[in-house]
Structure formats: C-alpha cells, structure tokens
Amino acid sequence: MSDPTRKRVLLGVTGGIAAYKSPDLVRRLIERGADVQVAMTASAQKFVTPMTFQAVSSRPARTDLWDAAAEAAMGHIELARWAELILVAPASASFLARLAHGRADDLLSTLCLASEAPLAVAPAMNRLMWANPATQANVTLLRSRGIRVLGPATGDQACGETGPGRMLEPLQLAEEAFSLLRSSAALIGVRVLITAGPTREHIDPVRFIGNRSSGKMGFAVARAARAAGAQVMLVSGPVALDTPPGVRRINVETAEQMHAAVREELSGAQIFIAAAAVADYRPSAPASQKIKKTGVAMDMRLEPVPDILASVSADQRRPRLVVGFAAETERMEEHARQKLEGKHLDMIVANKVGGQLGFDADDNALLLLWPGGSRRIERGAKLAIAHELMAAVAERFHEQEREGAGRPANKRTGKERRKARG
C-alpha cells in the first residue's frame, strides 16, 4: 500500500542524451519523499533501458499505451489521475512540439493531456534546436498554458557545442519539483475572490468611458489561484476571454455592478484580489438617448465611483488578505506604497503601464509590496508571473493566519494588527 504522506510524481523521460541523468533524478525525488512512476517514450529507450528505471524506482517503467498487462494493473487514465505532478526530464524538442500541439500519440503525451496535475518540462537539446523559432514558439505556447519550463542551463553540450540547451541537474530539478508540489497545494480549499478586466461607464446608450484592460492579468491570477487549490470566484468586466477551468465567474459592466457583485460574494471570501481596472469617475447624468452632434464643444460632468478595493478593506467581513493592484505610469513604487497604506491593504501589486507591458499585453512585470517586505517578479508571460504572485500571496495568507491566531483580520487586536504590519 502506498504511503499517503509521500508525493506522487510521474516522471516522463523522452529521447535525448540527458536521459542518462534521469535515473539519478528518480533517486533524488525518492530521497525527498516522492513515489516515482516513470513513463518513457520509444526514443528514450534508445538511451536508457526501462530496467534501469525499474531498479531505481522499484516500479516497472511504463513504455506503451497498448501494453495490456500494464493497463490491467493501472490504466493510463488512472495513472494520469494518480500523479500529483508530472515532470518531463529530459524534454526533447520533438516532445515539446507534440505537447504544444496537443498530440496524444504515445503513452507519455496521452498522460500529459489526460491529467489535471501541474506539468513541468526540463528541455534538453542542442543549442540551435533550442534557439530555433519553432521551438521557442512552442515553449511560449506551453508557458502561456501554465506549463512550467525548468531551464535549460547553458554550458558544454554532448554534441561538442556550448550554449543553452543542457538539462538542469537532477538535484536542482528535484528541488524545483518539490517547490511546485508545495505551491500546487498552497491554497487548497481557500476561497479567493478576484476582480478582473475593465469597467464601462455609460455616457449614453451607445457610448461609454472605458480603459485598455483586456482582463488577461486578472484571469491569469484566477487560473493560478485555482492551480494552487483555491475555490475561485471571478468578477469580470467585459472581456473576450474564456473562463479558466474550475473557476466560477460573474460578468458585470459598470463599476457599480462590480461593486454590487463583490459585496454579494464577500461573505466567506478569505482572500480578495483586485486586478480590475475600475473606473474612477462616471458621467453624473448619462443621457437616455444618443447624444446628437452639435459641432460645438461640450462639457461632461463626472462624479467619482465607489472604490471597491477600499470598501472591501474597510468592510466588517474583510477577508483575511486584501490585495490591490497599482497601475502606474511614473514613480511606481511611491504611488503603490501610497495605495497600500491609504487603502489599508495587506499587499499591493505594482505594474508599470503605458509601454509594452501591463494593459492588453501578454507579458507583465510586477513589484509586490507589503508592510515590512517586497518582492520583484521579473518580466514573463502573465500566467507564469501569476503563479509566482499566488505563491507569494499564499505565503502572506498563511503568515496572517498564524499571526491572527484564527481571528479574521478585522477582528484582530491592535497588537496583532501592528505585528502583522511589521
């Protein structure tokens, strides 16, 4: 019988000379507390035999989708469900291409498609194959789907060349695998409420005041929160994005509707993350009919809309962790700190907007600030950095839980609050 405290890692091995290091990786994973099941492609078996993996993992390596005896013992769908993490090391250029295109033409690619477990790949190939635009496009696509790409390292290669394309060393891969396992369970069952996208404030029935938010950042945060095991409710402004799997979603249009939806969902939320670009002002008297062109200048009176984030932070039902975003075009850190303090937040996520990052871009770069700490997340695909953000959010959340000794943030004593603020 398997030990429930041990982590279940499915190690995929594909065809490349770095496969000779994979038996050592199996041992490193086992030492750290994993049960390891190896699945090999046909090309991998040209480099290392299944028997080697059986010897180090104490389980027969799986090699064939059509192996009736192995399927009778544990079918491939069952195996895909068994895995808490799938790590493919080495991952060849060919395997990355098949994964990017959703091929399920052998056991390993089928397992990757059929599993909900986090998936990480450790590319290993010649430096020119790695640099090839086709490989780079595949890697970008995989990253955008939340697949972690570990490495490659730069150095001497088996082919005699030097450059990027070496598989990371087994020790480092084992550590990365365990860090992924920790983050994928970091928020199990925690209720997270997220706002995303823009709002639209009506001028008349056909015109509105809006902004350039695409919702990509907030949706990536929702996806990453779900991947960390959270129960996620997403309140979204008008965007053209699919709802991430496993996430509940409420669509709204105006800041007022977003505010009402957030108030409705606030009870029971343990973390609130405001990634939406909410309007600050709306027309005070929207016209009921289309405003006619007169050819002369016109003035429009605007009134402030409620600040959703500030109102959540001040609410009696305040979630334990309240996280705001700050979209800044200048003096980013200074302005973000003002918002952190002014709205009494537990964390602010600052991003520079107006250039190639931030609004409507696929990439972003973040500066996280909280009372007594900060962390930079370097430029990357929004989903990749959302995973890093959620790891930091989970850390702060669990810290607050310990400091608040089980009391909600708004019911803490002054001493607890001061301690939490550092």
- Six-digit token string for 388: 């890093």
Residue number with CB closer to ligand PMT (35 or 328): 328
Residue 254 in the binding site for ligand PMT (CB under 6 A): no
Query: Of residues 223, 226, 320, 339, which one binds ligand PMT by CB under 6 A?
Result: 339
Residue number with CB closer to ligand PMT (13 or 326): 326
- Round to whole Å and give the CA distance between 40 and 35: 16
Q: Which stretch binds ligand PMT (CB under 6 A): 45-53, 176-184, 319-327, 394-402?
A: 319-327
- Round to whole Å and give the CA distance between 265 and 280: 22
Residue 215 in the binding site for ligand PMT (CB under 6 A): yes
Least spacing, CB of residue 315 vs ligand PMT, in Å: 12
- Round to whole Å and give the CA distance between 104 and 13: 16
Least spacing, CB of residue 395 vs ligand PMT, in Å: 20
- Round to whole Å and give the CA distance between 309 and 330: 21
Least spacing, CB of residue 405 vs ligand PMT, in Å: 28
Q: Which stretch binds ligand PMT (CB under 6 A): 80-88, 152-160, 303-311, 314-322?
A: 303-311
DSSP state of 411: G
Residues 160-199 within binding reach of ligand PMT (CB under 6 A): 195, 197
- Round to whole Å and give the CA distance between 345 and 323: 6
Helix (H), strand (E) at residue 373: strand 373-381
Residues 341-360, mask of contacts with ligand PMT (x by CB under 6 A): ----------x-x----xxx
Residues 358-377 within binding reach of ligand PMT (CB under 6 A): 358-360
Q: Are 233 and 193 in contact (CB under 8 A)?
A: yes
- Round to whole Å and give the CA distance between 154 and 164: 4
DSSP state of 211: -
CA 272 vs. chain centroid, Å, equals 16
Residue number with CB closer to ligand PMT (38 or 349): 349
Residue 305 in the binding site for ligand PMT (CB under 6 A): yes
Helices (H), 246-379: 255-265, 308-314, 332-342
- Round to whole Å and give the CA distance between 17 and 158: 7
Residue number with CB closer to ligand PMT (7 or 352): 352
Q: Is 159 tagged catalytic? A: yes
DSSP state of 332: H
Residue 272 in the binding site for ligand PMT (CB under 6 A): no
Residue number with CB closer to ligand PMT (286 or 306): 306
CA-based R_g, the chain, Å: 25
**Of these residues, 128, 159, 300, 314, which one is catalytic?**
159
- Point out the residues that are catalytic: 159
* Binding residues for ligand PMT (CB under 6 A): 195, 197, 213-218, 255, 274-278, 280, 305, 307-309, 324-327, 339, 351, 353, 358-360
